[in-house]
Amino acid sequence: MDIAKRCIVKPGSKVKLDDWDPGDNFGIGRDDEALAKNLERLTELQHLLYADKRHALLIVFQALDAGGKDGTIRHVMSGVNPQGCDVTAFKAPSSEELQHDFLWRIHKAVPRLGDIGIFNRSHYEDVLIVRVHQLAPKKVWSKRYRQINDFERILTDNNVTILKFFLHISKDEQKKRFEARLKDPTRNWKLSLPDFEERQHWDEYMRAYEVALRKCSTDLAPWYIIPANNKWFRNYAIAAIITQTLDGLKLKYPAPTIDVSKIQLT
């Protein structure tokens, strides 16, 4: 099964998240061995990407609170060499960042050729939380969909491959995860009052995501909606899409800079 085709948001298509089952697993049974093989292959491909130095990979994770961004990064990227992979978590912009355009802080974190960059939240917050909480006028944030598409086109034109994952969980599943955190003293630190308050805006966030997914899923930088109620399937699907994408880049090791046949060790 081509999981990417099942999850991709076709450019220009209408998105209604109620039509996407967050508990779906596409009829695939849990297969830890298959996931392990994908993760092993990802380790190999990252080494090849780093050696090849012609491409960069940018992975964007978006989700509501408790959607699984941290868990996905921890599990799927577990075998990746940290020397060639950077994770950037975008929180509320600083005073310095607010004095620049909204993409300024994003562009600084784009990975170099040969590297993998991971965004835990991203530039899409500027058409999500900004829209839901009216942090900027509509005439400002409504232009950002086009600006985001233009920005992502610049990146892809310069050999940055972009994968954008929306981790889709249900409201009931979010509640279960919050309750689990409340009961676990080792995870209480992850809780904050705004997390719970944001649940009151669930419907508004769903609508904001639907518009962002529809307007900003392009041929060059498509969105993937990942059913994320089942953590094992979430990890399996994302690992499969990442490895498939890297395989498609036709990476290769560069020629050696010396004649290795003439090297003699004594």
Domain ranges of the chain: 3-252
Mean pLDDT value of segment 181-203? 89
* CATH 2.60.120.200 is right for the domain spanning 3-252: no
3-state helix, strand, coil split of the chain in percent (to 5) is 50, 10, 35
pTM of this prediction exceeds 0.75: yes
Question: Tens of pLDDT along 69-89?
Answer: 999 999 999 999 999 999 999
Question: Tens of pLDDT along 113-157?
Answer: 999 999 999 999 999 999 999 999 999 999 999 999 999 999 999
Please calculate the CA angle 41-42-47 and round it to the nearest 5 degrees: 100
Q: Is the pLDDT of residue 49 over 90?
A: yes
